[in-house]
Every structure is written in C-alpha cells, then in structure tokens.
Amino acid sequence: MKAAVYHGPRDIRIEDVAVPEPGPGQLLIEVSRNGICGSDLHTYVGAARGGATMHVPGVVLGHEFAGTVREIGPGVDDITVGTHVAIAPIEWCGQCYACTHSWPQMCRQLGLYGGYRLPLHGGLAPFACVSRRAAFVVPDGLDVNSAALAEPMAVAVHAVRRAPTILGSAVMVLGAGPIGLGVLQAAIASGATTTVVTEISPARRHAAQLLGASAVLDPSVDDVRAALRDLSAPGMDIVFETTANDAALAQGLRALRPRGTLVSVAGWGELARVDMGLAMAKEIDVRFTMTYEPAIDFPATLQMLASGAFDPAVLISDHIPLERLIDNGLEELLHHADQHVKILVDPS
C-alpha cells in the first residue's frame, strides 16, 4: 500500500509499505480520513524543540484518524469486523506515576501512532494497526469521515475539563484554529454565557461566528480592551490560550478579571514571555493541559460530534488524496493556514 513515511524534516515520502497484520490485542483499521495537525507541520519543517524532534524515521505519519475495523487480532472479543472507530492515538506503560493515577497522556514512556517516540505507524495510509484500547466506537448518527475530528476535538474537551466551572462564565479563546474553535464549541456546550474569540485570519473569524461566539475580534485592528469592557466589565473569568504566541498570551493576561484563570492549550515550541507582575497583581491562576484522557474525553467528544455540539461542516475545510499530502496539505497549511481550519486526507 502507499503511505506517507517520515524520513526527516522536509522529507516525507509517499512510498510502498507492507499492509500491517494485527497482533495480539490489536485491530486492523481501514482508514477513512486522517487530519493534518499543527504538530505535523512542526515535524515537516523540523522544529528545534518539542515533540517534532522526537519522531522516529521510517514510520508512517498520522495521528488524527478514524476508519473501519477489518481484522481482529488474537485476544480481542468485544468488537466486530465492520465497526466504525475513532482512534485515540496514544500508548502508555500503565506502571508509572501518571498511568497509575489514570493520566496516561503524561506517561513517562508515552508514544503516539504516527511515530512520536515509538515506531508506531499512523493513519496516513489505507490501513493501520492499533491496540484495542485505542479504538472508540463511532456512535450512530456520526459518519466515519467526520469522526476523524475526534482526536483534535478531544484536546478541546480535555482543556475545558481542566478549567474551572464553565457554566455561567465569561470565556475568551485566543486563536481560532482547530483547537481554538473546538474549545469555543466545548465552552458553549458547557454553559458559558459569554464567549469571545480573537483571531487575525478572516476565514477563521468567520468560522468562530458561525459556531456561535458572542464576539469575534481581530486583535491587529480592533480595540480588544474596549470590547471586553462592554462584554464583561470585571474582565474574563477564563482565558484559553491556543496560539503559542507571546502577544496573544499578554493580551489574555490583561483580559482576565482578578483571580481569573488562564488555561494554556497551545503546543509551545519555544520559551514564553510572561508578565509575572501583572499575573501576581491579579492573583491569576494558570493551568496547563496535555492532550486528553482517552477513556473520558473520547466518548464525550464522539457524542458531541454526533449531537452537533461540534460542527464538522465548519471545521473541515478540505478533503485531499494521500498523493497530494505535501502540496495541497502540508505546504498549503504552511503558506495559507489562514484560509483553512482542518484538512482531512483520504488515504484510500
């Protein structure tokens, strides 16, 4: 089969690899769609810090995928061939401190399908083998292509769970990329009374408007402070930072009310600059969030996708074939990210 194989920065090749066979406790998945993640872009260009430096050469990339069970390995008896599943693409040891506290996303030996730290082949291929625990059944009413959004939307669901109570809160989301838009929808579903999104891309601002934000601002031209005073006089209760941008982070700290909470969702590739004096003066709480807890966040996310709480029609900006991954996927997002939300790859 043809697959997207990582050999190094700027060296991702569509080449022939063997169709995998499921081992004990595994499933063979026929992949319907695989989304392109911001971390895939960091891997592609060769980021100097973070997860992009830890990909294993020779692996099939892709960690945002869903598909259909085609074969079942020995020892699996609770799922049938033909079942649609979304993949939570992390593997963990089960024995370290984080794992024994049911936080597998912080496992000391964490690996991801798509070749992060371990040679686990991912979903940018027609078929992929995954462990049974990585596969979550797609609920009725949700098509399997849209279920590929479960992985990034689970990041958003987990971020909202990491925040203080959202019900009745004024919430600000810095950035309207896929994660920011996911956080917006999860906050609305959790009962936020006011939702403000800042974003410089017109297309992504339009997406935030379609998804029901109370206010959508362009921080490069709009008077954000004045707008926030009209929306929530004491300031925002909770700010979600999804941009990994110092200017946005500073704006979020200014926007918070005294004893408000900043939730960092972004995958920072470099050290951040923080106005510690301002944070101290307001007694701001800061929380960080790391991907998701699969057993909790994936079922919730899939139900939200099935119910319409997450809107695939707004989130998915294009479907492309595997052979166009570089030109119409990675390069397109590198140079024209402001025109897209989520590009899904059809590896068939």
pLDDT of residue 47: 67
pTM (2 d.p.): 0.96
- State the Cα–Cα distance between residues 129 and 187, nearest whole angstrom: 34
For residues 202 and 176, is the Cβ–Cβ distance under 8 A?
A: no
- State the Cα–Cα distance between residues 272 and 277, nearest whole angstrom: 15
41 vs 212 pLDDT, higher one? 212
Q: How many CB atoms lie within 10 A of CB 265?
A: 28
Instruction: Look at strands 26-35 and 342-346 and give their pairing.
Output: antiparallel
Which region holds residue 258: left if phi is over 0, alpha if psi is between -120 and 50, else beta? beta
* CB neighbour class for 214 (10 Å; exposed up to 12, middle 13-18, buried from 19): middle
* CB neighbour class for 61 (10 Å; exposed up to 12, middle 13-18, buried from 19): buried
With 70 as the cut, is the pLDDT of residue 307 above it?
yes
Give the pLDDT mean for 139-167: 97
Instruction: Look at strands 127-131 and 111-112 and give their pairing.
Output: unpaired
Lowest mean pLDDT, pick from 125-134, 145-154, 162-171, 228-237: 228-237
Lowest mean pLDDT, pick from 123-127, 153-157, 228-232, 280-284: 228-232
- Classified as helix, coil or strand, 263 is strand
With 90 as the cut, is the pLDDT of residue 204 above it?
yes
Domains annotated for the chain, with CATH where assigned, are 2-137+311-346 (3.90.180.10), 155-288 (3.40.50.720)
Residue 16: which of 34, 28, 6, 3 has the closest Cα? Answer: 3
pLDDT of residue 269: 78
> What are the pLDDT digits (tens) for 38-89?
889 888 988 665 555 678 899 999 999 999 999 999 999 999 999 999 999 9
- Classified as helix, coil or strand, 214 is coil
> What are the pLDDT digits (tens) for 234-273?
999 999 999 999 999 999 999 999 999 999 999 887 899 9
For residues 297 and 157, is the Cβ–Cβ distance under 8 A?
A: yes
pLDDT of residue 16: 98
- State the Cα–Cα distance between residues 5 and 289, nearest whole angstrom: 29
Average pLDDT of the chain to the nearest whole number: 95
Distance of CA 339 to the CA centre of its chain: 18
